A and B are shown apart, each in its own frame.
Chain A
Amino acid sequence: MEVSRLRLLFLIATAAVSLQGCGLFSRGDDAAPEAVPASGSTAVTGEPADQQPIIDPQVERREIRRPQIDTEDFEIGAYYGILGIEDFESHAVYGARLAYHLNEDFFLEATLGQSKAGRTSYENLSGQSELLTDDERDYTYYALSAGWNVLPGEVFVGKNRSYNSAFYLVAGIGSTNFAGDDRFTVSGGFGYRVLPADWIAVHFDVRDHVYDIDLLGEKKIVNNLEAHLGLSVFF
């Protein structure tokens, strides 16, 4: 039995080699066997080394490139202005701003600002009494806001120059560190932006920062108004 099985195997192998054209032994993807010229003893599946390949594709490889487009949706900048801290005089404020433009109408904005509170009228009148230490007079805030370009447009300077501009509204939440504590702060306001070039913007902003404070015994709501000028670049 063992011998006949081996013989059968041998016969199948021989048939497979000799009956290349036969449907039983041809490969399914070998679609056009008649195109292959009969070349005697050489195996038709492989190319002889000294001969030219039957098909020599001269197709140039197509270069697939993803378009490299410089997207400028982010805006980074700095500002300087004046901040009125309720009961504590008005002082210079400066800060940094990062914005992301979602579409032509809306943007998200993160601002980080710093100022220094002055003295209250009470402190000035009473002479030596101090409500806050010098460190506690440091005023820092951050705000995460959403903005809406309500009135986009152009400004015309002279006859031949026009610059893109937008009047926008901003509202957000954040925190104010003042008098030694962090306070939840709601801020809102408006701004006007003019673009001298496509990548640079000049801003004028007005913001109101609202929070609760119980520094003088009872809790009260304070409004700190801020106006600043800023410069930012798109990237």
Chain B
Amino acid sequence: MLRLVRLLALAGLFLAAVAQADEALQRVLVADPFIELHTGPGRGFPVFHVVERGREVVIVKRRTDWFKVRTSQEVEGWVPRAQMTATLVPEGTPLDLHEPTRGNYMSRRWQGGVMAGDYAGASLISVFGGYSFSDNLSIELTANHILGEFSNGFSATLGLMHVFAPEWRLSPYFVLGTGIINIEPKTTLVRSDGSTDQLGYVGGGLQFYLTRRFMLRSEYRNNVIFTNRDDNEEVDEWKYLGFAFFF
């Protein structure tokens, strides 16, 4: 019985929360002659309803470039971004969606992504994240998974990245940093202990602004691994292609 009461109370709270959420939804006025409501968030989904100019709709949610709106008659459908930008907020100004564009790239702060390539003949999977503290300079943390025929390893690096011309669509950049690397020989070979060493790297790359908040990257690094043997080891690292997004 108590459980049932609790459950009902919880359901009540949930409904209250939903009602509260409804209050906070953005209302917009249709400014185009009409907007079309699709049955799903995609260009192929059929149009099943239209809302005329001057009518009000609320924006329920957004998925990629599609907005789910609800009319005053409780009809819900999906509207593309191009039509949403032609609506007005109740204050009378156009709906500003703060879309990330190439111009926004200059004011970006965080960047992250994935890259794939070659590490001295081994396959390389790399995940990175960076924080930029000026238009050109950013600090970047990278985690690599190195998968070779004879040995596997992980490495983590921290370094600086300097983008020469962030305002260009295609811009070269320069990287410099340090990190640690752990290499373990494969178990099918003679068993020997792996080693963890420090490394330093210098390199460069190209970044290409794709669209919205997305970029492509390609990078080369020359690593010097400070081994405990007599000679340091130099390793070429090629990241052929990477995908990055910024916030």
Contact = CB atoms under 8 A, between A and B. Distances in A.
Interface of A: 62-63, 65-73, 101-104, 108, 144, 146, 149, 152-154, 162, 164, 173-175, 179-184, 198, 212, 214-215, 234
B63 interface: yes
B24 A144 contact: no
B65 A164 contact: no
A181 B122 CA distance: 14
B247 to A, nearest CB: 12
Interface string B21-48: 0001010000000000001111111000
A23 to B, nearest CB: 41
Interface stretch (B54-62, B155-163, B225-233): B54-62
A67 B147 contact: no
B214 interface: yes
Contacts of A146: 243
B125 A104 contact: no
A183 B146 CA distance: 9
Contacts of A181: 152, 186-188
Interface-centre pick from A71, A164, A181 (highest chain B CB count, 10 A): A181
B74 interface: no
Contact of A164 (B39, B125, B152): B39
Interface in B133-150: 145, 147, 149
B68 interface: yes
Given A67-B59, A162-B39, A181-B186, A102 B64 contact: yes
B63 A73 contact: yes
Closest 7 CB pairs of A and B: A184-B147, A184-B123, A180-B187, A164-B40, A67-B26, A70-B61, A104-B42
B193 interface: no
B197 interface: no
Contact of B145 (A66, A162, A175): A175
28 contacts: A62-B91, A65-B89, A69-B67, A70-B62, A72-B61, A72-B62, A73-B63, A101-B64, A104-B65, A104-B66, A144-B125, A146-B243, A164-B39, A164-B40, A164-B41, A164-B45, A173-B116, A175-B145, A175-B147, A179-B187, A180-B187, A181-B188, A182-B145, A182-B147, A184-B122, A184-B123, A198-B61, A234-B63
